[in-house]
Each structure stands twice: as structure tokens, then as C-alpha cells.
Amino acid sequence: MTTTSPPRPPRRLRPAATTTRRPRVRHPRTPGELAFSVLLGLVCALVLFATLYPIWFVLIASVSSPAAVNTGQVWVLPAELSLFGYEQILSDGRIWTGYRNTILYTVVGTALNLVVTLPAAYALSRREFAPRRPLMFFFAFTMFFSGGLIPQYLLYKDLGLLDNWLVFVIPSALNVYNLIIARAFFEHSLPEELFEAATLDGVSYLQFFLRIALPLSKAIVSVIGLYYLVQHWNDFFTGLIFVRDYDKQPLQIVLRDILLSNQAFAGGAGGAGGTGGAYGQQYADQIKYGVIIVSTLPVLLVYPFIQKYFEKGVMIGSVKG
């Protein structure tokens, strides 16, 4: 005879413990803290206004009537819309040649700069690279001493770089300041344990640089790339000294010639007598505003796409943890 045990009563589930969050108590700010916040906001607003208003004024002045600008009617919004300056600038065929040349020099030059700077910075950041300190000394030496303009001109002549578009690219292939920044990033921001783990998997120095270091260095690559891009875009001295062929001149030289020709027109009209000089000077000023916008607009359009990397990159080395 078997005895069966009575069924066990079902287990009661304990209610889940509910955690009650205390409401965050906000302490009222003291009058001193409130006054400081207001003062800080006013200072930030003043700095922002002082930074952005000159750019905004040049923009609205370039599309306003010269008479309205000269009489002080243009402050916040354009007055008496006039596109005369842009019509004169964009109708000049030289402007498109200058744009073509500058875009070519900027793209090719920036690519060459990154190809030369980043591997050199990575090699100089490796502690096992014995001659890195003497090489870094020779690089830094060129920041303080140079041969001068005449030896530089003679060297470019012997190398066949005069009136050659490569003069905008090859001599500026490496910027020592950017090299130092990239070297410091590779040396302090990439942990040594990462390289040791990669070498255990049979990764060489070149593979580590291409597959691991570069993907982790988007910030510094973007910052240095932007520095090089602006440097090539604003390069004025190279075309002025080493290039005589006008078809190879960059945009900055073309814009300079447009400004000089319009100023000469204004001065010539004034010398002829009457009110023609004032009339010519008014439109010369409008063309000057338009030239500023035409020369800076491409860089302003590129910056938002790399802003997040730029903000991260400029903080490299400022915080040590």
C-alpha cells in the first residue's frame, strides 16, 4: 500500500521590490549665482556677436546697393538689393580658371600632405625607432631657420618647378607643426597594449598603422586635413613669386587682380573729374565684398561636415587622464 503525500500549496510569488526614487530637490540659486549666470550669458552673447557680425555684414553688404552701404542704411538686413558685384566677378572668365586651379592644388596637395605626414608621425612615435630623436631635431630645425627667398627661388629653378603647378604641391608636402601634433597623438592616445596584442596575431607595423591606428585617428586626420586644406586654399605667395603663367594662377591671385583693376578704374574715373570717381569707388567696394564671399564660401561649406572631428581633435593633449 503506497501513501501519497498531499499536494503542496502553490508558492506565492513575492511582489517585486519597488524602488522609490526620491524627487530631486532643486535648491534655489542665490542672487550671486543668478547674477553670475546672467553676466556669463551676456559675455558669451557679446563674443558670439563680435565673431559673427563682421561675416554677416560682409554678406549683406555684398548684395546691397553701394549707396545704401555708404550712407549707413545696412546694419542687419540688406537694403536696395544689388547683385552688380557678383555679376562682375562671375562674368570674368579668369575666376573659373582660378577656381579650377585652386581646387586641383587643394585636393592633390591635401592628399599628398596626409600621405606624407601621417606615416612619418607614426614612425617617429614608435619608441623602438632608434633615430627618431635626431630626425625630430632636424624637422624642428627647419621651423626656425631657412635659406631665404633667393636660394629657394634658385632651388625651384634648378628643379624645374617654376611655372609648374607642382610648385603648389611638392614643396609644401610636409608641415612640421602638423607632424608634431600627429606624432603626439599616435604616441599618447594609442595604448601600447593595443600594439602588443596586434603583434601576437602576426600584424606588422604597416598593417597596424593601416588597419588599427588610422581608423582610430579620425579626429587628428580631420584636423590636420582641414589645416592643410585651408593652407592650400589661401596660398597666395607661391603663385605671386614662382608662377608667371596666368593659366596656372590660383584663385587668390585672380581675385587680387580683379580688386586691383577695379580700384584702378575707380581712381581713373576720379582723376577724369566729376562724380565718376565716387561712382566707381562705390562699386569697387561692392566688388570687394563679393570677392571676400567668393573666396571664403567653399571653406565655410566644407567645415560643417568635419566639425565633430575638428572639435574632438583640437582637444588632443589638453586633458591628461
According to the model, what pLDDT value does residue 14 have?
57
Question: In the structure, what pLDDT confidence band is assigned to residue 188 with cuts at 50, 70 and 90?
Answer: confident
Residue that is written with C-alpha cell 587643394 in the block = 106
User: What predicted TM-score, i.e. pTM, was given to this entire model?
Assistant: 0.77
More confident residue, 181 or 307: 181
Contact 175, 228 (CB under 8 A): yes
Domains of the chain, each with CATH number or no CATH: 33-82 (no CATH), 89-317 (1.10.3720.10)
> Residue 191, exposed/middle/buried by CB under 10 A (0-12, 13-18, 19+)?
exposed
Q: Which helix (H) or strand (E) holds 89?
A: helix 84-90
**DSSP annotation string for 153-194:** HHHHHHTT-TT-GGGGTSTTS--HHHHHHHHHHHHHHS-HHH
Write out the three cell numbers for 302: 566644407
pLDDT digits (tens, 9 = 90+) for 96-126: 899 999 999 999 999 999 999 999 999 999 9
Higher-confidence position of 10 and 48: 48
- Reported as a single tens digit per residue, the pLDDT across 126-141 is 989 999 999 999 999 9
